[in-house]
Amino acid sequence: MASLVAKDAGKAAAQPGLGNVAFIAALIVAAVAIFGVTRSIGNSYAFFAAYVVVQYIVLGTAWNILGGYTGYVNFGITAFFAIGAYSSVVLYKLAPWLPLPVMVAVGGVFAALVGLGTGYLTLRLRGVFFSIATLALAVVVQTLITNWDFVGGARGAYVLRPRLAPLIGGDYIQYLYLLMLGLGVIVLATARAIERSALGYGFAAIRDDEAAAEASGVPTLRLKLIATALSGGFMGMAGAPLPYYVTYLDPSSGFSLNYAVNAIAMPLIGGTSNWVGPIIGAVVVGGLQQYISVTISSAINVLITGLLLVIFVILAPQGIVGLFLRKKR
Amino acid sequence: MSALLHVEKVGKRFGGFVALQDIDLEVQPGERLGLIGPNGSGKSTLVNCICGTLRNEQGSVRFDGAAMDALTAHQRTRLGLARSFQLPRPFGSLSLAENLRIPILYAVNARSGRRHLSGPAIEERCRELLRQVGLAEKAHRLPRDLTQIEMRKLELARAMAAEPRLLIADESMAGLSHAEVDEIIALLIRLNGEGVTVIMIEHIMRAVMEFSQRLAVLVAGRKIADGNPRDVVRDPEVVRAYLGE
């Protein structure tokens, strides 16, 4: 899959702005700086809160690769996210000595394969029918996990988190946070590379008119499968560290509606047209949620997200990024 | 010389409605064929079956000697079959230049054993194509800023961007002014001079007669005439189909 993307990316047109390598370097610098800032707060809650925001950047960007770029709205986010999380639970039980990044990679591969499989079965459906099929996927996966005793079934599973972070020292949450920042770099670099490549143009053509895309030589099914596999894989990677973050994972928390709502709402609020949108959405909405959880109540989060979503869909359907682009034109 | 396009006994139904029945059609390399027929006679359905947008239940389509029936639309486009849509279907979120970039990236560059266009060459090619259809000034506008007529020109330019060997222009001239019709005819004849075989579907008889070397007529899903344009338009059956008894 990666070679396919690379091959298409090679055909990309020269575009203004940073090249892909320079962009990745910039992202890494930004991630390190953000980590430094979070560490300077000197409070371990800051890591827990920032982890969630970065997790939503990853999740929102992953959703946007399929939903924003190709226009296929996936409601089955929790299926992919939980596959990542539960693959870590399985690996924790079978091979607890595996380093967490390896678990993340495995979770990503599993979720990508499920993405590929469901894509193959459902991508002949369009519009709302595809969305309903993905919703069904989430229900199916949740039912399977709930009845799978090895990973704790409905009782849930405990994961003992090491007390200290490897390599960097300090609390283990710092390591989880750093890992999630790393995933953020990978996902954002991929999303931006797609946008600037032939692949991105192909995705846009599919979103705008699938029949015309086919007539223009775009292999629509293959591209949609690439999109579902990448999108699902990244969602799985976002979910893989979750058992270590929560230390107790049960189906109702792994498949929480919050993940699905936020992963869709954040790109929509930020803007789905490019990679900046999900970041803005995750930082604004995720930041607000974290702030409100502390100051008011954590139960009001979904209400806030819902209200913001309604406001944006009505007043700024292109999201925050769209507002700025419109001003520029 | 063997035919470039060979349509044999093609049939297509939509439920109980027979849209096409036993269509036989051959197009020689380098030919300019006009395809006419009253509304609803199956012209666009035939184009859709030839290009793979729809699947014909009966008969077969061969292009350059190879069977097309198992191929998807994008595979056929890559082999050199391109079409414009009767109702323009632009990529709405992409600029005009980017609209043309899609077939260049996915049809032209996907052909094996060919030069791959890259960044600046693609942009130059997009500009050139837009110039040919008179849309050069609007290269960075979105399709929604275009008039219906301009959208038809964009449709044609996008089909041309795929560098086809056979171009099917499905009513590219509807609504165009007299002078614009002349421009498009000249453009299609020039393309034909460069070796592109062209099938033109059109209601404007002046354009059809000026352009076509051969004329085929569809009526109610059947081909009722095929031959020299001057003879075909005098054919009593064709006259009856258009003017009634």
Express each pLDDT in A274-288 by its tens digit: 899 999 999 999 999
| Residue A89 in this model has a pLDDT that exceeds 90 | yes
B123 shares contact with chain A (CB less than 8 Å): yes
Structural domain contains residue A47 = yes
By the 8 A CB rule, do B96 and B154 touch? yes
Q: If you compute the radius of gyration of chain A from its CA atoms, what whole number of angstroms results? A: 19
Q: Which of A224, A237, A304 is nearest to A269 (CA)?
A: A304
Does the CB of B72 have a partner CB in chain A at under 8 Å?
yes
- A205:B120 CB<8 A: no
What is the distance in angstroms between the Cα of B142 and the nearest Cα belonging to chain A?
Answer: 12
Q: Report the domain count for chain A.
A: 1
Of the partner residues A11, A15, A211, the one whose CB lies closest to the CB of residue B105:
A11
Q: Could you tell me which residues are beta bridge partners of residue B192? A: none
Choose the closest CB to B110 out of A201, A211, A217.
A217
Of the candidates B89, B93, B116, which has its C-beta nearest A212's C-beta? B89
Tally of helices (H runs) and strands (E runs) in chain B: 9, 10
User: And the tokens for A47?
Assistant: 């890591």
CATH of the domain at B211: 3.40.50.300
A268 in any annotated domain? no
The pairing of strands B222-227 and A248-249 is unpaired
Banded pLDDT at A6 (limits 50, 70, 90): very low
Mean of pLDDT values over A103-126: 91
End-to-end CA distance of chain B: 40
Owning domain of residue B111: 5-243
Residue A175 in tokens: 């390591």
Contacts of A84 (CB under 8 A, 6+ apart): A104, A107, A108, A110, A111, A235, A236, A237, A238, A239, A240, A242
Please say if the pLDDT value at position A326 is more than 80: no
Q: Beta strand B32-36 with B197-201: parallel, antiparallel or unpaired?
A: parallel
| Nearest C-alpha neighbor of B134 from the set B169, B88, B184, B189 | B184
State the Cα–Cα distance between residues B239 and B245, nearest whole angstrom.
Answer: 9
Q: Is A302 within a domain?
A: no
β-pair partners for B225: B217
Residue in B85, B102, B122 closest to A13 by CB: B122
- Range of lowest pLDDT (A168-182, A255-269, A290-304, B154-168): A290-304
By C-alpha distance, which of B221, B226, B227 is closest to B58? B221
B113: buried, middle or exposed (CB in 10 Å: 19+, 13-18, 0-12)? exposed
Burial of A15 per CB tally in 10 Å (0-12, 13-18, 19+):
exposed
**Residues of A whose CB is below 8 A from B123:** 13
Q: Write the ipTM.
A: 0.91
The residues, any chain, with a CB within 8 Å of residue A33's CB and separated by 6 or more, are none
CA dist., res. B92 & res. A269, Å (int): 21
Residue B124: closest C-alpha in chain A: A13
Question: Closest Cα of chain B to A236: distance in Å?
Answer: 30
**What is the pTM assigned to this prediction?**
0.90
**Among the listed residues A136, A146, A184, A232, the one whose alpha carbon sits nearest the alpha carbon of residue A32:** A184
Domains in chain B, number: 1
Residue B46 corresponds to which amino acid? L
Please tell me the distance from the alpha carbon of residue B110 to that of residue A270, in angstroms, as a whole number. 35
For A202, the closest of B92, B106, B123 (CB atoms) is B106
Q: Residue A327: which pLDDT band, with cuts at 50, 70 and 90?
A: low
Distance CA A117, CA B163 (A): 35
The answer to whether B226 faces chain A, any CB pair under 8 Å, is: no
In a domain, A35, yes or no: yes
Q: Tokens for B200? A: 């033109």
Question: Is residue A226 a part of any domain in this protein?
Answer: yes
Residue A113 Cα distances to A80, A106, A210, A230, B24, angstroms:
10, 11, 24, 9, 45
Q: Is residue A206 part of a domain?
A: yes
Q: Count CB pairs under 8 A between chains A and B.
A: 99
Q: Is the pLDDT reported for residue A191 higher than 70?
A: yes
Residue A8 has pLDDT above 80, yes or no: no
For residue A13, the 8-state DSSP code is P
Structural domain of residue A174, as residue ranges?
Answer: 2-256
Comparing CA positions, the residue from A320, A98, A114 lying closest to residue A236 is A114
Q: Is there a domain that residue A80 lies in?
A: yes
Which candidate in A216, A224, A272 is best for mutational testing of the B interface (most B CBs within 10 A)?
A216
pLDDT at B32 over 50: yes
Give the chain A residue whose CA is nearest to the CA of B82. Answer: A215
Which residues, 6 or more positions from A20, have their beta carbon under 8 angstroms from its beta carbon? A9, A189, A192, A193, A196
Cβ distance B6 to B59 under 8 Å? no
Q: Are B26 and B6 in contact (CB under 8 A)?
A: yes
Interchain proximity B91–A214, CB inside 8 Å: no
A215–B98 CB contact, under 8 Å: no
Structure tokens at A206: 């599919």
Chain B, window 77-106: residues with a beta carbon less than 8 angstroms from a chain A beta carbon: 77-78, 82-83, 85, 89-94, 98, 101-103, 105-106
Residue A15's pLDDT band, with cuts at 50, 70 and 90, is low
- The predicted pLDDT at position B141 comes to 93
Quote the CA–CA distance of B166 and B7 in Å, as a whole number: 14
CB within 8 Å: B85 and A213 = no
Using one digit for the tens of pLDDT, what is the confidence trace for A129-184?
899 999 999 999 999 999 999 999 889 999 988 888 888 888 899 999 999 999 99
B233: Cβ contacts below 8 Å, ≥ 6 apart:
B205, B209, B215, B239
Q: In what order do the strands lie in the sheet with B5-14?
A: B17-27, B5-14, B58-63, B66-67
